Structure 1
Amino acid sequence: MTDLTIRRATADDLPAIVAMLADDPLGATRESPDDPAPYRAAYEQIAADPHQHLVVAERSGRVVGTLQLTLVPGLSRRGATRAVIEAVRIHADERGAGLGTDLIEWAVATSRRLGADLVQLTSDATRTDAHRFYERLGFTASHLGFKLAL
C-alpha cells in the first residue's frame, strides 16, 4: 500500500487521534472524545516541544494511525538519549495490514536519525497481542514498569 504518508500531526488531526485512543477497552475507560479541551491543551504543549514528535499515518487523506515519539536526553548509559514510543494506535479497519509495523519502523529510523541510543516503550500488561507484536519487531521485555496516578 504505497499511498501511506507518516507526517507530523496537526490540530485538525486531534478528533481522529482521540477517536483511535478511545477505540479499545482500556481507552474507552480513560478517554473523553466529547471534551476536546484537554486534548487541544496537550497538543499545544507537544507541538511547542522540539523533543516531541506526534505523528499520524494518513492513507488517501484519512488518518489511520498515530504514535508519539519523545526524545529524552539522560546521564545514564554514558549520556545516552532515549527515544520513547507512546500511544501507538491503528484505526480498527486498518489493523492487521502492516500499518503498525510501518509506524514502529518509522519511529526507530527517526530515533536513529535524531541521535537516540535506545528506543523503549511500555505496553499495558493486559495488551498481550501488542506484546507479541513488539517482540516480533525486536523489542525485549527487559523491565518491569510502575505508575502512580496523581
Structure 2
Amino acid sequence: MTAPLADLGGGVVLRRAVVADLPAVVALLTDDPLGATREAAGPEPYERAFAAVDADPAHLLVVADDGGMVIGTLQLSFLPGLSRGGALRAQVEGVRVAAAARGRGLGEAMLRWCADEARRRGAALVQLTTDTRRADAHRFYERLGYVASHVGMKLEL
C-alpha cells in the first residue's frame, strides 16, 4: 500500500492508487447506470491509462482505502493554461464512492482534499464536469460550493 495522502476518518485513508487497485476502481466506475454503458469490457485499456496517469506528475489517481478495501476513487489532474492570467486549474474526474459506503462523508472529504491539494500546488480553481442526468451529484457539488458556471460540451471520437 502507498503512503496515505489524507485521513478521511473512520479508518479510511486516501492514497495514490496502485495497479492492483484497478479492478476495484473499474468496478466503482461501472457501478451505476451511466458508467455501465460506457466502460470497456477488458482490463487492457485501463492498464494503459493507469500507466500513463501514474507516470505523469500532473495527474493523481487516488483511492479511498478502508482497511485494504477500495471504497472510493477520483482522478485529480493539473492543467496549465493561458486564460485567467495563466492560471493552473485542477480538474476532478471519475468521482465515485461505493454504494455501501455512501452517507459517511467520504465524497465530501475526498473533494475537500482535492481543493487542499489544488491550493498547495498553486491552482487558481478546481473544476469538474458531471452528467446532466446526475441530479443528486449536482446537489452534492453545489452543497460543497461548486457553481454551475458553464455549459460543458463533448464530441465523441
Q: TM range, normalised to the smaller chain?
A: over 0.9
Which residue number corresponds to residue 125 of structure 2?
Answer: 118
TM-score, structure 1 normalization: 0.97
Instruction: Name the count of aligned residue pairs.
Output: 149
Residue identity in the other structure for 1:38? P
Residue segments in structure 2 that go unaligned for 5+ positions in a row: 1-8
Equivalence map 1:55-134=2 (5 Å):
55-134=62-141
Poorly superposed stretches of 4+, deviation over 6 Å: none
The alpha-carbon deviation at position 2 of structure 1 amounts to: 3.0
Which residue number corresponds to residue 24 of structure 2?
Answer: 16
Which residue number corresponds to residue 25 of structure 1?
Answer: 33
TM-score, structure 2 normalization: 0.93
Q: CA–CA distance in 1 between the matches of 2:64 and 2:113?
A: 10
Residue identity in the other structure for 1:5? V
SS of equivalent residue, structure 1 residue 104: helix
Which residue number corresponds to residue 53 of structure 1?
Answer: 60
Q: CA–CA distance in 2 between the matches of 1:97 and 1:82?
A: 28
SS of equivalent residue, structure 1 residue 88: strand
SS of equivalent residue, structure 2 residue 53: helix
Q: CA–CA distance in 2 between the matches of 1:31 and 1:15?
A: 12
Which residue number corresponds to residue 155 of structure 2?
Answer: 148
Q: CA–CA distance in 1 between the matches of 2:67 and 2:47?
A: 25
Residue segments in structure 1 that go unaligned for 5+ positions in a row: none
Which residue number corresponds to residue 40 of structure 1?
Answer: 47
